[in-house]
């Protein structure tokens, strides 16, 4: 589904300094796989998502999605950000339909699927509300519905639950897993929460601080469907210790 080959991204800051955001990223993500990227802030996780989406060009290396070389945004992909970034002048339903409109499709034909998605995410009855009338968690659900409505086979999520409180966060994680199991799709999910990364993923990609490199890819050895109780599973503990060691040992090693 996604194939990154020796990807490097170098930014030039306003002062003219070169900053290496990510370096030598080689990774393959299979169809319908749920892969999480975890690492400390500033390790280029978000940059990597933008690179995969074709929103920014790579400095070196190549990215292929469904076999095609990525050089610009391509169809059949959904994007969710840390902030819901809804349109304040649109109702919940019209915000969900925004993706359809921007894709140049006919919104009227998607009203029913949009209503179904809102129901699936527990937002029935809120269709005609404005975003500011909703809580942060509900707003993020709307943003996820917006990304899901065109039914993309690839979903890129940049810390989508990062701005939510711990309880809402856990609830949303399980909800996302339910949606993912119901409508199979490939998900690349950036987070800085280690438990979240393990709970969701088939594989966890652990990244090092700037320049972001892949420290290791961990196969999560936990059955599906996942539940919150799995956090007490000894395998969960082993995984989270591994991730923690990879992130923190590198940090102390640095001069």
Partner 1 sequence: MSASATRRALGDVVIPAATLVAALVVWEAASRAFRIPNFIMPAPSAIVGEGWEWRYRFIGHSWVTLYETLGGFALSIAVGVPLAVLIVYSPLMKSALYPLIVLAQSVPKIAIAPVLLLILGYGEMPKVIVAFLVAFFPVVVDTATGLAATPPELLDLSRSYRASPFKTFLKVRLPMALPFFFAGAKVAITLSVIGAVVGEFVGSDKGLGYVILSATSYWKTELAFSAMILLSVMAILLFGAVSLAERVLCPWLTADAED
Residues that bind partner 1 (CB under 8 A): 50, 53-55, 72-75, 77, 79, 81, 83, 85, 87-90, 98-99, 101-104, 129-135
Closest alpha carbon to 155 in 226, 94, 99, 104 = 99
By three-state DSSP, how is residue 44 classified?
coil
Closest alpha carbon to 150 in 198, 189, 117, 197 = 117
Closest distance between partner 1 and the C-beta of residue 186, in Å?
A: 15
Nearer to partner 1 by Cβ, of 99 and 173: the residue is: 99
Closest distance between partner 1 and the C-beta of residue 130, in Å?
A: 4
Closest distance between partner 1 and the C-beta of residue 24, in Å?
A: 25
Between vectors from CA 200 to CA 247 and to CA 236, what angle results, nearest 5°? 60
CA 5 remoteness from chain centre: 20
Nearer to partner 1 by Cβ, of 55 and 230: the residue is: 55
How far is 51 from 212, CA to CA, in rounded Å?
13
Nearer to partner 1 by Cβ, of 77 and 247: the residue is: 77
Ramachandran bin of 117, using left for φ above 0, alpha for ψ from -120 to 50, beta for the remaining angles: alpha
Closest distance between partner 1 and the C-beta of residue 32, in Å?
A: 21
Closest distance between partner 1 and the C-beta of residue 182, in Å?
A: 23
How far is 66 from 169, CA to CA, in rounded Å?
31
Nearer to partner 1 by Cβ, of 158 and 213: the residue is: 158
Nearer to partner 1 by Cβ, of 19 and 102: the residue is: 102
């Amino acid at each position: 589904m996604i194939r990154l080959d020796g990807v490097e991204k170098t930014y030039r800051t306003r002062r003219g300094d070169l900053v290496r955001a990510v370096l030598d990223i080689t990774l393959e993500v299979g169809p319908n796989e749920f892969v999480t990227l975890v690492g400390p802030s500033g390790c280029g996780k978000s940059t990597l998502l933008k690179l995969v989406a074709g929103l920014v060009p790579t400095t070196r290396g190549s990215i292929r999605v469904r076999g095609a070389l990525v050089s610009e945004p391509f169809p059949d992909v959904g994007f969710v950000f840390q902030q819901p970034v809804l349109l304040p002048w649109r109702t919940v339903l019209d915000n969900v339909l925004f993706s359809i409109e921007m894709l140049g499709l006919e919104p009227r034909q998607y009203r029913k699927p949009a209503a179904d998605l809102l129901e699936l995410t527990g937002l029935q009855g809120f269709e005609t509300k404005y975003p500011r009338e909703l809580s942060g968690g509900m707003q993020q659900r709307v943003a996820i519905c917006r990304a899901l409505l065109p039914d993309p086979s690839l979903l890129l999520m940049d810390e989508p639950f990062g701005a939510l409180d711990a309880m809402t966060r856990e609830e949303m994680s399980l909800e996302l897993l339910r949606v993912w199991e119901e409508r199979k799709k490939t998900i690349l999910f950036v987070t800085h929460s280690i438990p979240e990364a393990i709970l969701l993923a088939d594989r966890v990609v652990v990244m090092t601080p700037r320049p972001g490199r892949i420290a290791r890819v961990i196969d999560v050895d936990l059955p599906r469907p996942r539940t919150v109780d799995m956090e007490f599973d000894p395998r969960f503990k082993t995984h989270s210790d591994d991730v923690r060691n990879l992130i923190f040992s590198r940090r102390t090693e640095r001069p």
